[in-house]
Amino acid sequence: MTAMVSSSNGLTTREAARRLAADGPNRLPAPRRTPAAMVLLRQFVHFFALLLWGAAVLALLAGMPQLALAIVVVILLNGVFSFVQEHKADRAAQRLGELIPAKVVVRRDGRRAEVDAADLVTGDVVLLEAGDRICADLDLADVHGLAVNESMLTGESVPVRPERGGRVLAGTFVVEGEAEAVVVGVGGATRLAGIAALTRAASRPPGPLAVQLGKVVRMVAVIALAVGCGFFGLAVLLGMSPGQGFLFALGVTVALVPEGLLPTVTLSLARAAQRMAAKNALVRHLEAVETLGATTFICTDKTGTLTLNRMTVAEVWGSAAEAVRSAVLSSTGRLVDGKPIGDPMEVALHVEAMRLGLDVDAEVTARRPFDSARRRTSVVAEGVIHVKGAADTVLPLCASVPAGAEEALAGMSGRGLRVLAVARGRGPRERDLDLLGLVGLVDPPRDDVAEAIWKCRLAGIKLAMVTGDHPGTARAVAAEVGLLAPGSVVLTGPELPPDDAALGELLDRDGVVVARVTPEDKLRIARALRSRGHVVAMTGDGVNDGPALREADIGVAMGASGTDVAREAADLVLLDDHFATVVAAVELGRATYANIRRFLTYHLTDNVAELAPFAVWALSGGQIPLALTVLQVLALDIGTDLLPALALGAEPAHPRTMDGPARTGNLIDRRLTFRVFGVLGPAQALSEMLAFGGVLWLGGWTFGAAPDAGLLAVASGTAFTAVVLGQFANAFACRSQTRWVGRQRWLDNPLLLGALAFEAAILLVFLGVLAVAGLLGGTFPSAAGWALATLAIPAVVAADATHKAWNMRRGVN
Question: What is the rounded distance in angstroms from the CA atom of residue 25 to the CA atom of residue 5?
Answer: 18
Question: What is the rounded distance in angstroms from the CA atom of residue 104 to the CA atom of residue 701?
Answer: 93
Question: What is the rounded distance in angstroms from the CA atom of residue 185 to the CA atom of residue 766?
Answer: 71
**Choice among 204-218, 594-608, 736-750 with the minimum mean pLDDT:** 204-218
**Choice among 386-395, 541-550, 581-590, 691-700 with the minimum mean pLDDT:** 541-550
- Taking a C-beta distance cutoff of 8 angstroms, is the pair 91, 76 a contact? no
pLDDT value at 192 more than 70: yes
**Choice among 9-13, 16-20, 92-96, 427-431 with the minimum mean pLDDT:** 92-96
Question: What is the rounded distance in angstroms from the CA atom of residue 577 to the CA atom of residue 560?
Answer: 6
What mean pLDDT is reported for the chain? 82
pLDDT, one tens digit per residue, over 664-684 is 666 777 888 899 889 999 999
Q: Phi-psi bin for 443: left (phi > 0), alpha (psi -120 to 50), beta?
A: beta
Q: What DSSP state is assigned to residue 640? A: I
What would the mean pLDDT of 731-746 be, rounded to a whole number?
A: 85
Residue 94's pLDDT is 45
Q: Which residues pair with 341 in a beta bridge?
A: 334
pLDDT, one tens digit per residue, over 565-600 is 667 677 888 877 778 888 888 888 888 888 888 888
Question: In the chain, what's the furthest Cα-to-Cα distance?
Answer: 119
Residue 3's pLDDT is 47
Residue percentage of the chain with pLDDT more than 90: 25
Residue 84's pLDDT is 67
Q: Which residues are catalytic?
A: 301
**Choice among 372-381, 508-517, 560-569, 604-613 with the minimum mean pLDDT:** 560-569
What would the mean pLDDT of 442-464 be, rounded to a whole number?
A: 89
Residue 62's pLDDT is 66
pLDDT value at 202 more than 60: no
pLDDT value at 689 more than 70: yes
pLDDT confidence band for 429 (50 / 70 / 90): confident
Q: Residues 317, 323, 325, 331: is their CA dihedral positive or negative?
A: negative
pLDDT confidence band for 786 (50 / 70 / 90): very high
Coarse DSSP helix, strand, coil percentages of the chain, rounded to the nearest 5 percent: 50, 15, 30
Closest to 519 in 3D by CA, of 206, 182, 205, 171:
171
Radius of gyration (Cα) for the chain, nearest Å? Answer: 35
pLDDT value at 760 more than 80: yes
Residue 794's pLDDT is 95
Task: Give the contacts of 12 (CB within 8 A, at least 6 positions apart).
Answer: 108, 109
Question: What is the rounded distance in angstroms from the CA atom of residue 755 to the CA atom of residue 647?
Answer: 7
- Taking a C-beta distance cutoff of 8 angstroms, is the pair 731, 623 a contact? no
* DSSP line for 275-311: HHHHTTEEESSTTHHHHHHT--EEEE-STTTTB-S--
pLDDT value at 412 more than 80: yes
Question: What is the rounded distance in angstroms from the CA atom of residue 282 to the CA atom of residue 304?
Answer: 18
pLDDT confidence band for 267 (50 / 70 / 90): confident
Q: Indicate the helix (H) or strand (E) that contains 405.
A: helix 405-414
- What's the one-letter identity of residue 310? R
